Structure 1
Amino acid sequence: VTLNGSQFYTYSICNVEEREQDNWLRTTFIQRHPLASRVFVELKFIVRDCNSFDGASLICKETFNLYTSESDADVGTTFRKSQFKKVATIAPDEITGKNEMHINTETRVVDGLSRKGFYLAFQDIGACIALLSVRVFYKTCPGTVQNLATFPETVAGAENQPLTEVSGVCVDNAASEELPRIYCTEEGKWAVQVGQCQCKPGYEEVKDTCQECRPGSFKAEASSDACEPCPANTDTLEHGAVLCACKDGFFRAPTDPSTGPCSGPPSAPRDLSAVPQPSVGRLILSWTPPEDTGGRNDITYSVECQRCDGVVCHPCGERVRYEPASMKLTEARVSVSELEAHLNYTFIVEAHSGVSQLAGEAQRPPSRSNVTIFLHYTGERGFNTGCLDHMSCSASQDDNLDKTTYTVLTLDKNSAQIKDLAPGTAYLFRVQALGSDDNSEGSRMEEHFETLTEGTEQNPCTNGCFYLFIPFFFVFRKRNSHTRQGPEDTYFSTPEQLKPLKTYVDPHTYEDPNVAVLKFATEIHPSHITKQKVIGAGEFGEVYRGILKAPGRKEVAVAIKTLKPGYTEKQRQDFLSEASIMGQFSHQNIIRLEGVVTKFKHAMIVTEYMENGALDRYLRDHDGEISSFQLVGMLRGIAAGMKYLSDMSYVHRDLAARNILVNNNMECKVSDFGLSRVLEDDPEGTYTTSGGKIPIRWTAPEAIAYRKFTSASDVWSFGIVMWEVMAFGERPYWDMSNHEVMKAINEAFRLPAPMDCPSAVYQLMLQCWLQDRAKRPRFGDIVSLLDKLLRSPESLKTIADFDPRVSIRLPSTSGSDGSPFRSVSEWLESIKMSQYSENFTCAGIVTMEQVLQMKTEDIKNIGVRLPGHLKRIAYSILGLKDQTSTLSVFAV
């Protein structure tokens, strides 16, 4: 055959004018990969239009059949038709006419292979066909490196083995606490990985490898984190450092983490002062914290007391008392009592930190002086002088002083520290009490003092200073004030501010997501949980069926979602956020959260166990076995759960039958809050996403177009769920692409009524699918309407119009090319009832003309018992009969 200038070698046959054709073409023996139990057969072929043959169109065919036969050895040219079983009837998408040629490509699956090899065979029953190529292949999950684990190329499993577990090996310089494994799907794609590898200490992940940390950086533990820069006051010049050493002069305390910064000892305390309290017989020492803390916050202080006689100083002994203590003080203040009169006391305050002992030096106040003069008031008659120095002190007035300096202070306290006095200088001190108006004069006292000359040994104060104590001389200033109402007063006094808070709290608003989890979910000890069987693989890890036996509670079956090892902190937060959401709900039609495991290594989310699993699969498994009344009851439960969420100003965003779970009592519960978001206080508030996938077939048109979601868009999704339920899990919009679905909806197309759907239920679906979201019913209205239907079962007997040509969404009245079906098997395959091919053959129904004569009783008599299957076949035959204009061309 020559096509577009290229030659193709073909196997062809064209006996269209002869009746009872039965021509076979068999392949050579095809060796099977030991693990490939499922193979795909891709055919490229040309089929001639029967109408292009004059006089032969009535007996001409436009299809052929594909067969297979297994064997453990090559049988050579031996051929027996009985050894082959049919795989499929092959029909072209495009037929070749007189003036044009079209190459068709069809792919079929051959499943359940178990022997060493197999043959393919092609049967022609009267068509004009040219077979260009046959490609036989199986699917594999390609060799890959994921999360630092290497997984080999793996043959995809068969349909009855959708997940194949594959073990991996960590790359060099990586390790995993448990054996890394991953699942290969039947479509040749890798699913969720369990047991993530992590780079060892001193290594970080770089493009699926673990590379050494560069100098100046380190990594102390095996993790998915990158190497970190060395902390403050540390460094390393090595590659692959696990820790960074302290620089000279810096240390780590024994309690400091080995990965933390290093620090130095603190500098000296500043501004040490002593204030006596004669009335209670104690002295208050206070100071300012060190200017340089060495980078630490564990600063403590110690106070040492020395009693000096002449030039010799001795420890004060145990008689002196300190409040609260003399060691490990955390505040820059201490009270000292039990001091003796007329003695010179020296107090030394030292600052300490966790590394002071390692540094080998203590920090002391930098300045001292031997001049300490106390003036203390003994009564109303004046001052007495007390000498607390080792040398004599004089209180006499010297009228011949060369220089007199007056220092005047206005104070509202009973003491003052005078600094920067000149040595060898006489000073006059005058103390006067003032009235409340700061002008009236009270009693006044004066005293003269002379500082020491330079070179004299000094003690607590440098360059001369003294403490001036003036007990009971206080200046009180009256301050006017007025009451001002604060914002909090306004809040509690304004009715608008007293409105109740929104019931639902978005956990994403918490600065620390862990707080949200602890607030809304109960912590479970992992010893109370027993895993029994893997029932699925979620986004973050495996899902188990298990048992929860908490103290004081009855043992209950639960579903356990796990978080795969090697997770990042963000993955952990995303994983637990669903629990933070779910834990806020309490309704019989919302999946119940039993609790979480967060305080142990392996995080888990524990929910009630729903025995019948996802609603869509449950309906498909029980097609036709559930009455319309029961289906409406299930819808009523879903609507009640959604009303509860809507009343909490909460939008689900991913309402679909796959996200509804069913228990043993056929009670439906809304689940999967991964895409959910809270609405704002505004009843018309929306949630706008910044990206991500949208489930097109279930999503309202305004949400698709503008990525805005409301409770009204959830109502649209509920309408799709209603259709799924009444159609026993049929896929919405069948095999239409997402683009075709969006185009059809925008052109006002709506899903037709499913088979045997009550008219009232279908009308409610159409109300949910109104283009104007404001006109759609609310969930409260939906619950009320469904309750009304359930109270009046008679209202469910009126069935909506059903068009099998649209509702089955398959060419139920013609072949894939628009021409009538050529065989019973081809027709049954088109309506997904090919399992009954043998029933029809055994009953002698081998032509489409015979099919058209069948009634419901005839269908039952050949062995079709399931109500749903019985109706599907019967309605399809009804659709065939309606196409009277096409029946005249049937010739089988």
Structure 2
Amino acid sequence: MNTKTETSDLKWTTHSRSKPEWEEVSGLDEENNSVRTYQICQADGSSSHWLRSKLIERRGASQVYVELLFTMIECSSRNTHHRSCKETFNLYYYQSDTDDATATHPAWMENPYTKVDTVAADFLLRKGGEKKFNVKTLRLGPLTKRGFYLAFQAQGACMALLSVRVFFKKCPALTRSLSVFPETVPRSLVQEAVGQCVANAAQPGPNPRPPKMFCGEDGQWVDQPTTTCTCLPGFEASHGELECRACPVGQFKMGSGPGPCSVCPDSSHTGEMGSASCPPSSPRSPVPQVNDTSLTLEWSEPLDNGGRSDLTYNIECRMCPAPGGPCTPCGDGVNYRPSQIEIQGRRVSIWGLRPHTTYSFTVMALNGVSSLSQQGPAGENINITTSPNVPVLVSGLRKITATESSLTLHWNTPTQSHYRILQYQLRYCEKERGSEENSCHFMESGVNEVVLSDLRRATQYEVQVRARTLAGYGSFGQAVVFRTLPDASLSHSGCLPLSVSLEDDSSSPLLVTGILIAMGMLLLIIVIAAAIYCIRKQNHFKDPEMSDKNGQYLMGQGVKVYIDPFTYEDPNEAVREFAKEIDVSCVKIEEVIGAGEFGEVCRGRLRIPGKKENYVAIKTLKGGYTDKQRRDFLSEASIMGQFQHPNIIHLEGIITASCPVMILTEFMENGALDSFLRLNDGQFTPIQLVGMLRGIASGMKYLSEMSYVHRDLAARNILVNSNLVCKVSDFGLSRFLQENSSDPTYTSSLGGKIPIRWTAPEAIAFRKFTSASDVWSYGIVMWEVMSFGERPYWDMSNQDVINAIEQDYRLPPPPDCPTYLHQLMLDCWQKERTARPRFSNIVSALDKLIRNPASLKITAQEGAGPSHPLLDQRSPLTPASCGTVGDWLRAIKMERYEESFLQAGYTSMQLLAHITTEDLLRLGVTLAGHQKKILSSIEALGIQNKTPGNVLY
């Protein structure tokens, strides 16, 4: 969508409870072109003024970008109350599968709308000043429905919205490295695209993987493709590996892979394009001479030898047992003289064929460039049939048992039915004596089994067998080696069974010696392993913390200690010591994702030579800073650079040699923990939540052991990556208590406030910040996590919170909170800081819970723990107090389902009496946590029993 291209009125929907309203007028953009604009100028910011676009189709994109062009009048140039004047406005969006928005639906409030950002002007219009335009690009998503509406909320601004452009990014179709990749819309930070090889290219190997490449979120292809596509034989890569071109006439390329086509060698030639060789023609006039089961083949030279003199011939043999049936390779039983391949002459003798069997022989001519021909060598084929009454080779000779002086042998009976076996003859020789006189013996047998006796102990014998028919004896089969057993005493010792043959050259004493040595080595390894286990177990009992994985414990050296950068005479020295300087050319900023105390927070890419490119979060120091602001900004890097732990945000480096000054940290895809939990309300199991809490506690344990006090531990300062790993962040400036205030908060030197509700009472009263005060804050974080991002102490004022804590009030358990976890929270909120657990105790307690997940099924009851009137922050609900179904859903924070309830006919509270889980599924309530919350609320209202519902929700 681009409002600059609209030629008629936009007719967007406006909403306001007081004048003025957004007004559509014609205006001029930055190029003085006429455009349709919306303007508003409020006298005060006490009310909200809304403007909503028409439905925008998302067209398959999961995230889109909104480019805003606007002007803003400076507050000091307006005749209005300065405190109510704003120089910002809010941007929201609302997803829908239908274009059903009206003047009253959806409700004009942040929920059901999703907030994108508060947009601030970089350039303000002043009286007599230069006219400057603001351009902001924001990202919104993930998008899952057919389309969405954009909504703008002004609360005291005087501005003109000149144009709105909505777009998404995609990677164009691409051909690279002989691979073709389709046009790809990124669904995440990096989207994998699957391609295919270009024409006349393929991937080698039996199970090739398709080419892959990654499409970045910015619509740019990332790095090089992962592919093994190579040009086929007869083709070469061209145009920078964009295609595979056929070899010209007179050239060839034998195999797949890189490399150009080659000119046919001297006196060779190919008459077509795409040749893999320069071959000769077929041999001519093969002449067979069959003698029972042997064959002699002769042939003449090819008419065309490719102009070469290095001709050789190959013989291919295939056996066709049944007429017209399939033919199979002949196998190893057929013998050739002089050879089967690379025959220099034009004659070959073949024997070992089966009787009464049809064979197909192909004589192939080759020269020096036709070994990998695409069409195969040129060949001439001939079929012959052997005589019916000739013995065949006997196969399958094998041993049944063996003793010191005998071998019992067995072999396969030939299965052909057109001849009869009269007798078998065995020939067996001592292998060590070779062809000496009396070393070989013969034995006849009428069946396919024989016992060879009077043999030498522990001796190898070569045995062959042949069959006799009416046509006489056939050839001996392949020789097989068997071995008699050694002494009977060794056989009975338990090392070797009596009927085992040893068909290798190693002697039995060596084998026994090897077995004894192996058993001794195994026993030694077991003893050493047991000793190491006992030592480690003893050390674990002495100091269980020595096994911590944070890597900071060094044997005999204690633990690394945090160094305050403000103790340095020159704070820049601390920055140089603890933070690595990165060249600005290694960093590419992609988009702004937020605003920090000192400037914008961006997402970008970091590519250091020799290392893999990765995403980073980039904090920038806005222009016009003082030396003190620069030192304060970089102090966070000098603090963070001292930490190395999997649950502490990792510092990649800093950029101070150019503007703007930047701090680079690892990028956490899911952002802050509190907003992430609210976005995924009810979607995680208790064991997953405990895993998150364990990670946070492990990070804090590491910080406390380094003698570092965080002072601002809250879910908003915990970041979550794509693997749900939680990491402690925000190691910013020291903070002081703002005095003489009706709503005391901790405030940094630049005005960033930290709510009282996370702070331990001794830190509020006496500014006593210790690891124990961090433990108190951790208990609040536990409550935030188990309530899926609920605000601690709800809507109580800071002063009410301080008063309540002084009167021993503590937060009640969130819904479905395991009893054990709420008790751990109460332990963290002990008034005496010395009574609170240490972070090492918390990690151990959570580890026990993870090992025993059944304990998480015992849930805390509301009202458990210290009691206080302020406990009743959640007003009792009754059918009368709710009024409508919409009021009730909003009261239990399930307003996202209001439309589904109303469309299904649930228009009054009494109609909810008999609603079931199946009904909720039909209404689109698929999350188990949301189902339980709705059904529990209905039960608490007392509708089902038709009794007044004065029970606490």
Q: What range is the shorter-chain TM-score in? A: 0.3 to 0.5
Provide TM-score, normalisation by structure 1: 0.46
- Which structure is higher in RCO with an 8 Å CA cutoff and minimum separation 6? 1
